[in-house]
Amino acid sequence: MTDMPDLDPFDATALRLTVNLAALADNWRDLARRSGRARTAAVVKADAYGLGIEDCGETLYRAGARDFFVAAASEGETLRAYAPEARIFVLSGIWPGQERTFFDNDLVPVLASEEQLAFWMSVLSERGPYPCALQVDTGFNRLGLSVDEALALAEDVSRPTSFDPVLVLSHLHSGDTHESDGNRRQLDLFRTVSAAYEGIEASLSASAGIFLGPQYHFDLTRPGIALYGGKAVTGMDNPMRPVATAQARIVQLREAKAGETVSYGGSHRLTRDSRLAIAAVGYADGYLRNLSGAGVPLRSQIPAGACGFIAGRPVPVTGRITMDLTIFDVTDLPAGAVRAGDYIELFGDNLALDDVAAAAGTIGYELLTALGLRYERRWLGEDDV
From the first residue on, what is the mean pLDDT of each consecutive set of 10 residues in the chain (385 residues)?
76 96 98 98 98 97 98 98 98 96 98 96 93 97 96 90 93 94 97 97 98 97 98 94 98 98 96 98 97 93 94 97 98 96 98 97 96 94 70
Start-end of CATH 3.20.20.10 domains in the chain: 35-228
Non-local (6+) Cβ contacts of 147 within 8 A are 136, 137, 138, 189, 192, 193
Provide the terminal-to-terminal Cα distance of the chain, rounded to the nearest Å. 39
Start-end of CATH 2.40.37.10 domains in the chain: 244-380
- Give the active site residues: 45, 264
pLDDT tens digits for 179-208? 999 999 999 999 999 999 999 999 999 999
3-class SS at 135? strand
Residue 260 identity (one-letter amino acid): E
pLDDT of amino acid 161: 84
Q: Per CATH, is 244-380 categorized as 1.10.357.140? A: no
Cβ neighbour number for residue 38 with a 10 Å cutoff: 22
Superfamily of domain 35-228: Alanine racemase (3.20.20.10)
3-class SS at 224? coil
Are 187 and 194 within 8 A, CB to CB?
no
pLDDT of amino acid 114: 94
pLDDT of amino acid 160: 85
Share of the chain above pLDDT 90, in %: 92
Give dist(CA 25, CA 241) in Å, integer: 10
